Amino acid sequence: MQNTEPSSNRRRFLITGAKGFIGAWVVKNLVERGDRPWIFDVDRQSHRLRSLLSDDAMASVSFVAGDIARLEELERAVAENGITHVIHLAALQVPACAANPQLGAQTNVLGTLNVFEVARRRRDLVKHIVYASSAAVFGPEEFYGTATVREGALLEPSTHYGVFKQCNEGNARVYYKSDGISSTGLRPWAVYGVGRDVGLTSDPTKAIKAGVVGRDYTIRFTGGLDLQYVDDTAKTFLRCAEGELPGARVYTLRGTVTQMPDFIAALERDNPRAHGAFFTVPVELAVEKSPALDSRVAASALAPRCSVMKSRFRGTRSGFVWPALIRKGNFSVENNIKADAPSSDTRRRNTAAKPLFGWRATNVGRETHDPIGPSL
């Protein structure tokens, strides 16, 4: 997919959470099309950005030190740099919110409120906010049966993280109704690609990497998963920001629901020497039994502005995009392999279930014992 066109000189993008997976790809897209993004974070350290951008490209990124939970620091960053568009991705993820709900709320809820409050105070500058919601706002599978989840369906999140995201959607509506602050919230599901290294649904990315470097890998679930390629997702965030649609809109993103056996077969087609190197544990995320997410409303509203709303599972006749990129030498992965990881047989024996976004999952192969280690 071709990069989007450079924005006009009047557009200045501030990205929160730019050191995260999707945020790093948003920055990459901006830099590659000739824009200078402003990154708002507590420090400059980011292994994901360093993996995606050359030193010359990093020189075109502006860092603004600040804490998303501190309103005055965020307002100063917007005012001093003439920020016109905010892409808000800063958040603590499901495990961190479960372990410390207070800290999760401070970052995920108060931080988002600060973004909207700055936009209200500096409406002379800020034209639009795009923020990351999540498929975690939906309830468990029994709420929906086998039907497709339509836009406007009942939200019944089963994690603190999901409740925080639902809260943000509600606050966005209030800011539009009371102050006219327009925003777009996007609900990704399982985004994959270079830099995805945290969480259970990072396993497909790690499996791709394992195949490239010639290691066995056990994906910690079976069944289906709605896979969305990260570059498509990043471009969707950018196009929504530039589209400046009025209102407090929330859209569910959808890629392709792919069964894990099909995913593994695609990996083996791309890399025949890895045949038989991939395994799954017999515990489902239950995606294949739960309703598919309907993104037709999003596609209808955004398609004129956002061609990447036709997001798809990025498999090709010869395999996946990411392994091809690594083979071309774009990314270095060998140094991230952990030599002391347990065998796949050991991991397969640990199959206790735990909830993920209200669906079943497994705690097999915890992050600290992953044979692929922290990804890029």
Residues 6+ apart with CB under 8 A from 376: 47, 48, 51, 194, 195, 197, 331, 333, 336
Q: Clarify whether residues 301 and 158 are in a common domain.
A: yes
Is the per-residue pLDDT at 122 higher than 90? yes
Query: How far apart are the C-alpha atoms of 206 and 4, rounded to whole Å?
Result: 28
**Residue at 4 is within a domain:** no
With cut-offs at 50, 70 and 90, classify the pLDDT of residue 36.
very high
DSSP string, 280-298: E-S-B--TTTSPPBP-HHH
Q: Clarify whether residues 136 and 206 are in a common domain.
A: no
**Residue at 5 is within a domain:** no
Q: Clarify whether residues 47 and 145 are in a common domain.
A: yes
CATH of the domain at 105: 3.40.50.720
**Residue at 243 is within a domain:** yes
Which position has the higher pLDDT, 167 or 158? Answer: 167
Q: Clarify whether residues 327 and 182 are in a common domain.
A: no
What is the span of the domain harbouring residue 85?
13-191+228-254+292-310
Task: Looking at 182-256, list the stretches that DSSP marks H as alpha helix, in order from N- to C-terminal side.
Answer: 203-213, 230-243
**Residue at 3 is within a domain:** no
Q: Clarify whether residues 135 and 277 are in a common domain.
A: no
Q: What is the mean pLDDT of the chain?
A: 77
Is the per-residue pLDDT at 89 higher than 70? yes
Q: Clarify whether residues 176 and 217 are in a common domain.
A: no
Q: Clarify whether residues 148 and 219 are in a common domain.
A: no
Is the per-residue pLDDT at 307 higher than 60? no
**Residue at 306 is within a domain:** yes
Half-sphere exposure of 39 (CA within 13 A, CB side): 25
C-beta separation of 86 from 16 below 8 A: yes
Q: Clarify whether residues 215 and 186 are in a common domain.
A: no
**Residue at 1 is within a domain:** no
Residues 6+ apart with CB under 8 A from 346: none
Calculate the CA dihedral of residues 219, 224, 229, 232 and round it to 10 degrees. -160
Which position has the higher pLDDT, 300 or 25? Answer: 25
Percent of the chain with pLDDT over 70: 71
**Residue at 26 is within a domain:** yes
Query: How far apart are the C-alpha atoms of 28 and 3, rounded to whole Å?
Result: 10
C-beta separation of 236 from 308 below 8 A: yes
- CA dihedral sign of residues 59, 80, 233, 236: negative
Which position has the higher pLDDT, 240 or 197? Answer: 240
Query: Of 8-22, 220-234, 248-262, 304-318, which gets the smallest average pLDDT?
Result: 304-318
Q: Clarify whether residues 247 and 357 are in a common domain.
A: no
Provide the pLDDT for residue 243. 93
Give the E-state strand segments of 112-193 in sequence order: 128-132, 183-187, 190-192
Is the per-residue pLDDT at 369 higher than 70? no
Q: Clarify whether residues 210 and 111 are in a common domain.
A: no
Provide the pLDDT for residue 257. 79
C-beta separation of 60 from 27 below 8 A: no
Q: Clarify whether residues 263 and 182 are in a common domain.
A: no
Structure-token pair, residue 253: 């993103």
Over residues 148-161, the mean pLDDT reads: 84
Query: Of 72-81, 154-163, 289-298, which gets the smallest average pLDDT?
Result: 289-298
Percent of the chain with pLDDT over 90: 48
Query: How far apart are the C-alpha atoms of 41 and 146, rounded to whole Å?
Result: 42
Tell me phi and psi for residue 357, to 5 degrees.
Answer: 55, 30
On whether the pTM is more than 0.85, the answer is no
Provide the pLDDT for residue 339. 25
**Residue at 2 is within a domain:** no
Which range has highest mean pLDDT (261-265, 277-281, 330-334)? 261-265
Over residues 236-253, the mean pLDDT reads: 94
Which position has the higher pLDDT, 131 or 350? Answer: 131
Give the chain's domain count.
2
Q: Clarify whether residues 234 and 319 are in a common domain.
A: no
